[in-house]
Structure 1
Amino acid sequence: MTESPRSASTLSLSARLAGGLVVLLVVGGVVLSLATFAYGRAAAREAFDRLLVGAASSIAASVSVIEGAAVVDLPVSAFELLALAPEDRIAYQVRGVDGAVLTGYADLPQPPAARLVTSGPVYYDAPFTGEPARFIRLTRRFAERDLSGTIEVIVGQTLRERNALAEDIALNALMGLAIGGAAVVLLAVLVVRSALRPLDELALALAARDPQDLTEISTAVPREVASLVGAVNGFMGRLERQFDAMRNLISDSAHQLRTPVAALRAQADLATQETDPDRRDRLIGRIHDRSVSLGRLLDQMLSRALVIHRIDSARREAVDLRDIALDIVEAGDHKLIAPGAEVRLEIGETPVIVLGDPLSLGEAAKNLFRNALAHGRAPIVLGADVKGAQARLWVQDAGPGPSAAVRAQFGDRFVRSAAADGRSAGLGLSIADSVARAFGGHLALEDSAEGFRVAIALPRSGER
């Protein structure tokens, strides 16, 4: 079942672009969100780690040696630094050179043993009172007479404030990304609609046309749409030629068949009323001759309509003109059209290749061959050869060729009215000329000592 145009339609270009941008922004947003959260966490960690190292350094600097013992005088500045994160809980511990806790929490988690190889600050994560926390271990070396060894300072802080800062950084970045993405989608839709406006104008121009108007579209369009307009113009040109072929067929049928049919009817009426056998036989002979001529005329008219239809619709392929000439002679139609007429075939061993439609070329050659049989003088020669860059399919007879009046009207569909004698000398030439022009060639009329030759000259193809 054929779908209606509405059900067969697809999403508009604007919707496709908007959908594609939304998908792109969503995927990109997810990636950027992960990257933003990672950056926020790194930035927050670096900022709060500086608070830890500042507090630990202040505490380590406050350790002094009095009478051979390490004494800690906790500085207020250290706790002021840590107080910059009011929502976090803090912990500290100071150990003497013998490992005993001098002040602070006695059960703080210790850094992993693998990190103790460095002499600088050591950062590590560990739980503190059931919450994740960040710690720093800092050492101070004493080498005095009364005290020699390393004092260890550990300062820790929970992660509430730094997690809040990381989320704030990420959310601010994502909010800017969302606003920017929405603006990009809106701007892209507006740009696409503006860019596609010529297509709407083209559609309106086509809708406003008369159904019989198949002339080329002259509406100014962007360069990207020009190929579409060219394809539409080419399609309408082919449609116009098809319509012309149908109009010509109807017109020719009405014009060329009315008189012969009327003459046949009149002669048939006379034959039915004639009592003299001899005169009745002559009338019957005329009716037969008229019928044969009328059949030939109908055959040529239908052949011309078929050829014009196939010129635009048939796929072009490599054709050897020698095969067409051979098929026409082997068909033996000349034995019925002109019994006893001498017919010869002249083809060589060199292929005569062109790009065209075998049926159209065959119809054109048949019409030339039948014209020669009907109007020419035997012997009739049918051949194919190569002359320069042209491949030629030709028919030759021993007569002088058409009259000057016929040649002056070369290419017209009818040279003599079929109403006069039921015959048309120009329709066959018109068919051959149409086929030759359709495939980039021409029809050549040549006089020589051997007689008159009509050749369909086409560009030669290198295909084998």
Structure 2
Amino acid sequence: MARREPSLFSRLIVLISLVLLAGAAALTTAAWYYAREAANDAYDRLLVGAAYQMAEALNVQGGTLTVELPVSAFELLASSERDRIFYKVVDPGGRTLTGYADLVTPESDAPAMASPAVLDGRFKGVDVRMTKVGRYFSDPSVQGRVDVVVAQTTEARTALARELTLRAVALVIAMSALALGGAVFAIRYALRPIGRVGAVLRDRDPHDVTLITVSTPRELRPFVSATNEFITRLKSRMDLMQQFIADAAHQIRTPLTALKAQLQLLSRQPMEPQALQYLTRVQERVDQLSRLAGQLLSHAMVNHRAGAVPLEPVDVVEIVRHAIREAVPEALDRDVLTSLELPPVPVTIAGDAISLKEAVKNVVDNAIRHGAPTQLTLRVRQELKTVEIEVEDDGPGIPPELWPQVTERFGTPSPDGSGLGLSIAADVLAAHGGSLSFRHADENGFAVIMSLPSETGPNS
């Protein structure tokens, strides 16, 4: 048992899903990075602003450096309820005037009142962001640089970065879902030509070996071209086979005709009863062989024309007239009364006149040889969407249980027949989009009905 391969649609969806997943992961990482940078930038500005306000509040009064921290500086940093604030003021001598003496002073060479750096650090076991702002004093009692160090915990900025990231991730997920849905629709639409090609091949008649002409995208052209090349090779093999059958049947018919003539001459000579009996058997076998050769030739011709000859408007009434004229000698030999019930006006359909005539001839020949003891009737009826050719005889007919078999090649050969006549008719009707059916007219009547579409056939 062959291993079942996943569909092309499933493969494409899985690959696109993996690409979207990798893209979503990359975008999520980038979103977290940019959200953290944005949150740090926003809170760092507040942190630096508060440090500047504290530095501006330093004064020298009475020869002493005084520190009066403005409330506005703490209010600026207090916009986040989650964070804690740490600070200290260091005089030029390195002593802590106020604040947390153990707060680490960042190493920074930035000039006083310039844009200070904001660094990461840890204080009292928590992560903090800290900055240092310096202010120079030239008072006789206080000379040098006074540093203001301010630190803030990172809970608020982390929460802001997380919120921004979640919003970005939600947007990424929504866009990925839309992209995946669009990809599903686009892939299904793009794969429709494959289904169209498959439908053309699946619905094609087994005898149809014409090339595929369905419109396909550029990517499917190699597949269609390879299929057409295979069809071309198959048609070539089928043509060779049909030609071989036709040639063989034709070559056999010539010596058989001569043999029949010799047998007829021989039968006129006086001979013993037993020899005459043997001669009669030989004549019967030669007749069977001649009929088989004719039917093989007819079958090869019909199969060759099916799907290869375009259907044209033909008159069913004229086809039936020509077919019965060619079958009349058989009927006369048997003293079978043949009658026609035809409409007074032409009945036109799209078909192949030669193939249809062969079909009618084979049905009539089958009825004369195996059915009609004394009477044969041909009718042509035009219905709403179909045209029916009915061949009725007064024989016992075919048992219903054998109806499915008699339309198969050599399905139910009789002792004096080949089993090809009804098969040829069924093939011709199938090529025209029609069908072959049977019915018992009464106790001593049987009819073969050939139904054809009254509109343009499938191969027109």
Question: Normalising TM by the smaller chain, what interval?
Answer: 0.5 to 0.7
Q: In structure 2, what is the equivalent of residue 185 of structure 1?
A: 180
Q: 1:65 aligns with which of 52, 57, 60?
A: 60
Q: In structure 2, what is the equivalent of residue 215 of structure 1?
A: 210
Contact 1:116–1:122 at 8 Å: present in 2 too?
A: no
Q: What SS does the aligned partner of 1:209 have? A: coil
What aligned pairs does 1:319-398 form with structure 2 within 5 A after superposition? Answer: none
Q: 2:6 aligns with which of 6, 10, 15?
A: 10
1:36 maps to a residue whose letter is A
Determine if the alignment matches structure 1 residue 129 to structure 2 residue 124: yes
Determine if the alignment matches structure 1 residue 158 to structure 2 residue 156: no
> How far does residue 225 in structure 1 lie from its aligned partner after superposition?
3.4
1:228 maps to a residue whose letter is F
Unmatched 5+ stretches in structure 1: 268-464
Change (3 A) 1:9 1:123: closer
Q: What SS does the aligned partner of 1:134 have? A: strand
Q: What SS does the aligned partner of 1:213 have? A: coil
> How far does residue 227 in structure 1 lie from its aligned partner after superposition?
4.3
Determine if the alignment matches structure 1 residue 27 to structure 2 residue 31: no
Q: 1:99 aligns with which of 87, 94, 97?
A: 94
Contact 1:56–1:153 at 8 Å: present in 2 too?
A: yes
Q: 2:192 aligns with which of 191, 197, 202?
A: 197
> How far does residue 40 in structure 1 lie from its aligned partner after superposition?
1.3
Whole-Å separation in 1 of the counterparts to 2:206 and 2:4: 24
1:44 maps to a residue whose letter is A
> How far does residue 260 in structure 1 lie from its aligned partner after superposition?
6.0
Q: In structure 1, what is the equivalent of residue 162 of structure 2?
A: 167
Contact 2:111–2:134 at 8 Å: present in 1 too?
A: no
Q: 1:251 aligns with which of 246, 249, 255?
A: 246
Whole-Å separation in 2 of the counterparts to 1:88 and 1:178: 32
Change (3 A) 1:31 1:158: same
> How far does residue 60 in structure 1 lie from its aligned partner after superposition?
0.4
Q: In structure 2, what is the equivalent of residue 87 of structure 1?
A: 82
Contact 1:37–1:167 at 8 Å: present in 2 too?
A: yes
1:56 maps to a residue whose letter is A
Identity of aligned residues (%): 40
> How far does residue 79 in structure 1 lie from its aligned partner after superposition?
0.5
Deviates further, 44-53 or 201-210: 201-210
> How far does residue 9 in structure 1 lie from its aligned partner after superposition?
3.6
Contact 1:111–1:122 at 8 Å: present in 2 too?
A: no
Residue deviations 1:299-328, cap 9 Å, x none?
xxxxxxxxxxxxxxxxxxxxxxxxxxxxxx
Whole-Å separation in 2 of the counterparts to 1:73 and 1:182: 57
Normalised to the residue count of structure 2, the TM-score between the two structures is 0.53
1:68 maps to a residue whose letter is G
Residue deviations 1:5-25, cap 9 Å, x none?
xx444322x322221111111
> How far does residue 218 in structure 1 lie from its aligned partner after superposition?
3.1
Q: What SS does the aligned partner of 2:197 have? A: helix
Q: In structure 1, what is the equivalent of residue 401 of structure 2?
A: none
- Tell me the matched-pair count: 260
Contact 1:95–1:153 at 8 Å: present in 2 too?
A: yes
Whole-Å separation in 2 of the counterparts to 1:202 and 1:257: 43
Whole-Å separation in 1 of the counterparts to 2:204 and 2:243: 24
Residue deviations 1:342-390, cap 9 Å, x none?
xxxxxxxxxxxxxxxxxxxxxxxxxxxxxxxxxxxxxxxxxxxxxxxxx
Q: In structure 2, what is the equivalent of residue 425 of structure 1?
A: none
Whole-Å separation in 1 of the counterparts to 2:117 and 2:192: 65
Q: What SS does the aligned partner of 1:59 have? A: helix
> How far does residue 47 in structure 1 lie from its aligned partner after superposition?
0.8
1:10 maps to a residue whose letter is P
> How far does residue 223 in structure 1 lie from its aligned partner after superposition?
4.6
Contact 2:136–2:146 at 8 Å: present in 1 too?
A: yes
Contact 2:24–2:176 at 8 Å: present in 1 too?
A: no
1:104 maps to a residue whose letter is G
Contact 2:129–2:154 at 8 Å: present in 1 too?
A: yes
Determine if the alignment matches structure 1 residue 109 to structure 2 residue 104: yes
> How far does residue 226 in structure 1 lie from its aligned partner after superposition?
4.1
Whole-Å separation in 1 of the counterparts to 2:142 and 2:70: 22
Determine if the alignment matches structure 1 residue 42 to structure 2 residue 37: yes
Residue deviations 1:409-442, cap 9 Å, x none?
xxxxxxxxxxxxxxxxxxxxxxxxxxxxxxxxxx
Contact 1:139–1:150 at 8 Å: present in 2 too?
A: yes
Q: In structure 1, what is the equivalent of residue 226 of structure 2?
A: 231
> How far does residue 93 in structure 1 lie from its aligned partner after superposition?
0.4
1:157 maps to a residue whose letter is Q
The root-mean-square deviation of aligned C-alpha atoms, in Å, is: 2.6
> How far does residue 140 in structure 1 lie from its aligned partner after superposition?
0.4
Q: What SS does the aligned partner of 2:94 have? A: coil
> How far does residue 254 in structure 1 lie from its aligned partner after superposition?
3.2
Change (3 A) 1:106 1:9: closer
Q: In structure 1, what is the equivalent of residue 48 of structure 2?
A: 53
Residue deviations 1:106-154, cap 9 Å, x none?
1112224xx3465542322221211111111110011123321111100
Unmatched 5+ stretches in structure 2: 263-460
